[in-house]
Each structure stands twice: as C-alpha cells, then as structure tokens.
Amino acid sequence: MQEQLFNKLEKLYSEMVDIRRDLHMNPELSFQEVNTPKKVAAFLTNLGLEVKTGVGGRGVTGLLRGGKPGKTVALRADFDALPIQDEKDVEYKSKVPGVMHACGHDLHTAALLGVAKVLSEVRDELEGNIVFIHQFAEEVIPGGAKSMVEDGCLEGVDVIFGAHVSSMHPYGIIGIKEGYICACGDTFEIEIQGRGGHGATPHLTVDPVVTGSQLVMNLQQIVSRRVDPIKTAVITVGAFNSGSGFNVIPDKARIIGTVRTFDEEVRDLIEEQMGQVVESTCKGASAVSNFTYTRGYPAVWNHPEETKRMEKLATSLFGEDKVQHIEAMMGMEDFAYYVKEVPGTFVWVGAANPEINAIYPHHHPKFDVDERSMILIGKLFISAVFDYLSEHSRAKSGFIMQES
C-alpha cells in the first residue's frame, strides 16, 4: 500500500509543480493573504474534506475522516510570502512587485495539497483522521499559528508533523533534531530622549548618541555576564538611528534589535536585565528612556518519540546517508505553538541544487528550490500518518509499516 500511495504521489508531481508555480507567481504577504487561502480551500473542498476557512483569521483546515476509528494526525504547511523583489530569471517569477515566495512556503502548500489528494483516495482504509493545517502569516510576529490554535485547529488532534525546505542542505537530505530545533525570537525597541544642541557645545546637551552607544555595549554584558554560559542567548542590535547633521547633537535616538534563546528562564532573565540596563544607563546620562520588549514565537521543541519516528521513516525511505542530525538554529518558527499543545516534530528537507541555480539562502531575491523536494515531504508525511495510526490502532494490522 505504501508503494502504491507513493506512486500516486509521483504521478501528481506535475500538478504539484503547477500549484507551486501558480502560488509563486501570485504571492501574498503575511496577514494579507486572500486568494491563496481561497485556492487552498477550493482544492480541499473538491477532495470532499470538511473545510474550515478564516481559522484564526486567514487560515484553512481540512479534515479527512477515515473509514475506521483511530487517532487524529495533523500536518501543517504555511503559505505567506515576503516583501522582497523577485530577481530570478524564470518563467514562474513573481508577478507582484516587491513580493515573492523567498522561503519555500509555496512549495510547502503544494506538497501538502498533494498529500491530501493521495490520502483522500484511501480514506475508507484510514484507521483515524487527518487534519491538514494551511497556515497564514508565519513570517511576521505574532504569526498565524497562535491564533489558529486558539481558534481550535488542534481540537481532537493527537500528534502533528511539519517540514520546511532548506536551501542550506542539498536536495535529498533530511535534517533531524530531537529537542530544541528553533529558538524563540523576541524584539525590542529603545527610545532615548536627550537634549539636542550644537556639536561645539556638548556640555549644554544630553547627547543621545553617546548614551545610546554606551547602551549598545552594556547590553552585550547581559549575555556575557548574566546568562549561564552553558546556555545559549543572543542580543543583537539591528539598527541605531539618530541625528542628521555633522554639527548637530540630536535630541533623540532609537535602537531596535532582537533576542534569541532556547530557554524560557533565560528569556525572562534577559527581558528583566535589559530593562534595568536601559534605565540605569540612560538615567546615569540624564536622559529619559522608553523600553519596549515584544515577545515573539517560543522555541520549537521536537518531541523525542515523534522525532525518532521521523528519523526511522526517513532512514527507511531515503537511506541512512540521507538523514543528518543537525544542530539547532537561532531562527524562529511559529510551529512552536503547535508542539506546545500536542506532541510532534519539525524537520528540514534539503532543496538546494546548483544545477538549477537553487543555491541562494532563504529570503534572498534569487531564492529557489528543487521542486522534487515536494515528493520527499509528501513521502515523509504519508509514512508518518500511517506509521502513527497503525501504531495506535487496536487491530494492529492493515497499513502497518514494514521496517527495513
């Protein structure tokens, strides 16, 4: 049965490519997705799934009820694009100025739709149910996952699986990591109010540039001197803006940046310490500060049991040499909200291929992927569904995966 389903998936490849390229040519930004969810909902409806739209705002879910009782598995894909001008020279280049799919979400969507079509054809044999989660706004905090979870997309779900194409890994490689795989991602903004004046008379001013410079350096001491060195954390200042003239001391400065860590206690500590450092540094310079700390996505925690399951399946499908134990990354992913509620795992699927110029990093104007990675994602998802459902089936028969 597994091979039959894989054959069906491979026969759908050209259709999946068409879907992916249509989405690629017609990208929509986070929280502005209109046509994309409509297309997804129409596709799932045509398959006879129980479709909900507007989930959490702009999300779409499709419930495939199996013919036999059992557990419920969720599979997730995201579908938002980025505010980047597409500079590729391909026939499916983005038609929307300044907007492109530069992270592979179009491919995720097409792959999951292909999986839905394949599995819908064997629904009577399924010993359980499948929820296909098509998520909006992964790229922009607060993201779409949190609101979709709050809106009930995981009701009745027992486990969830997710995958992301990776331009950091060659096509065919599956990246697996038990435990933390993506960091939490917070942002901060600091406004410094000083007293401006002439550059020749600094003693009559409260210089926000000098104060801000001291503050940037003081913030770095939080990680080096306040955080346990066994644990990981990053405080990065991304922008420092102030002034406009060579002989003018401005009255204001603005600093923005990001904080990344895997540990919630470290996250709490950094937020607290940053507030103290901002206040003390600015007060010592007779400046007034306004500090805003915004929490983004939590860290993604891959549950051990489901990660081992995915590793076993990937090894069986593609070979031990294609499965890599990767390091955790400091990037963020709102898949974290799903695995905070139910067990699950999130894997990387290699999609880089120099032969087709798929060599650029995520969020690059020339980003592209090897579309064959949709088949890899599809096989992983299909295998995970049947492996999980058969393991939890009372009958323990029918679609039980054969281990190599």
- What type of residue sits at position 226? R
Q: Which of 61, 263, 24, 31 is nearest to 154 (CA)?
A: 61
Angle at 51 between CA 48 and CA 54, to 5 degrees: 160
Give the Cα separation of 178 and 168 in Å (integer). Answer: 19
Neighbours of 113 (CB within 10 A): 27
161, 345 Cβ separation under 8 angstroms: yes
Instruction: Categorise residue 272: left if φ over 0, alpha if ψ from -120 to 50, beta otherwise.
Output: alpha
Rounded to 5 degrees, φ, ψ at 352 are -85, 140
Pairing of strands 159-170, 68-78: parallel
Q: What share of the chain is helix, strand, coil (3-state, %, to 5)?
A: 35, 30, 35
Give the Cα separation of 190 and 253 in Å (integer). Answer: 8
User: What is the three-class DSSP state of 371?
Assistant: coil
Residue 15 annotated to the active site = no
Give the Cα separation of 142 and 300 in Å (integer). Answer: 15
Residue 251 annotated to the active site = no
State the catalytic residue, choosing from 28, 33, 138, 158: 138
320 marked among binding-site residues: no
139 marked among binding-site residues: yes
Neighbours of 403 (CB within 10 A): 9
State the catalytic residue, choosing from 80, 158, 191, 368: 80
Rounded to 5 degrees, φ, ψ at 254 are -135, 130
The helix or strand, by DSSP H or E, that contains position 54, with its residue range, turns out to be strand 50-55
164 marked among binding-site residues: yes
Q: Which of 332, 256, 254 is nearest to 297 (CA)?
A: 332
Give the Cα separation of 71 and 77 in Å (integer). Answer: 20
Where is the binding site, in residues?
103, 105, 139, 164, 363
Where is the binding site for Mn(2+), in residues?
103, 105, 139, 164, 363
Catalytic residues: 80, 138
